[in-house]
Amino acid sequence: MLIAVGFITYPIKPERVDYLERALKKARAHFDHKLDEAVYFAAIQTRGCDPRDVFRVRHLCNRYYIVPHLDDSEPGMGKNHNLAMRRAFDWFGADYLLLHQDDFYAIEKVNLREAVSFMEANRKIDVLTYHCSPRPEFALKTTERSDGFLDVDPESEWFYDDSPHLRRPDFPYRFGWHLDGTPELSGEIEKETIHSLRMHGARIVKVPGKWFEKDGPVSAS
């Protein structure tokens, strides 16, 4: 059972490289799957970035044994998500992808073995999220399951967000690829993803507790 841990980043500002460094450092400290049990890689958009910041990102990947995948095409808000899925499932043949944006970082021991075991035992679950947004408007409506995990109500305003989460290889074929667009359209792109997930009956479950924090306010735009 191969897990791909995909970090996505667009180092358009030096602070975003700082965010990525913290994310990689905390992942190494808190993830139970180490180098011989998972593929760790980074999907990196580079168009318009300072070459010094791109060099820093490559240096961090080398330091933390992360496979870098650079993309110098026109950047888009959904492009890195799609790049990460293609690398995880088409290149590495992973059974699961933990999609991890650079502005989140682990604060507790993250038991990926338990998460994958849950997904294997519950094949109708499409996404297992470590939802941790600090913004009240992103709060989820949930119902506790008999196994302690939390079913997410699809009528939650933000049924899906960018908190770290596990997804399966069939995600883009059942719910569509992420739309590309300029950073100004990020809210509309996220809403389109939520609409697609609802329309196709996606089942999302939340891991109970808090495992990640979201980093500071510097956007990738």
**For the segment 30-56, what is each residue's pLDDT rounded down to a tens digit?**
998 765 678 999 999 999 999 999 999
Both tokens assigned to 67: 């496979």
**Among 17-21, 40-44, 156-160, 188-192, which stretch is predicted with the lowest mean pLDDT?**
188-192
Mean pLDDT across 152-156: 91
Task: Look at residue 53 and give its three-state secondary structure.
Answer: helix
* Domains (range + CATH), the chain: 3-214 (3.90.550.10)
Query: With pLDDT > 90 as the criterion, what percentage of the chain qualifies?
Result: 72
Give burial (CB, 10 Å; 0-12/13-18/19+) of 201: exposed
Q: Assess whether pLDDT exceeds 70 at residue 119.
A: yes
* pLDDT value at 139 more than 70: yes
In degrees and rounded to multiples of 5, residue 22 shows phi and psi of -65, -40
Q: What integer best gives the mean pLDDT of the chain?
A: 89
User: Helices 51-63 & 14-30, crossing angle to 10 degrees?
Assistant: 10
Report d(CA 57, CA 125) in Å as an integer.
34
At residue 46, what are phi and psi to the nearest 5 degrees? -125, -10
Q: Which of 9-13, 54-58, 70-74 has the lowest mean pLDDT?
A: 70-74
The residue ranges of DSSP E strands in the chain, in sequence order, are 3-9, 38-45, 67-71, 96-101, 104-106, 127-129, 142-144, 150-152, 165-167, 204-206, 212-214
Return d(Cα 137, Cα 117) in angstroms, integer: 31
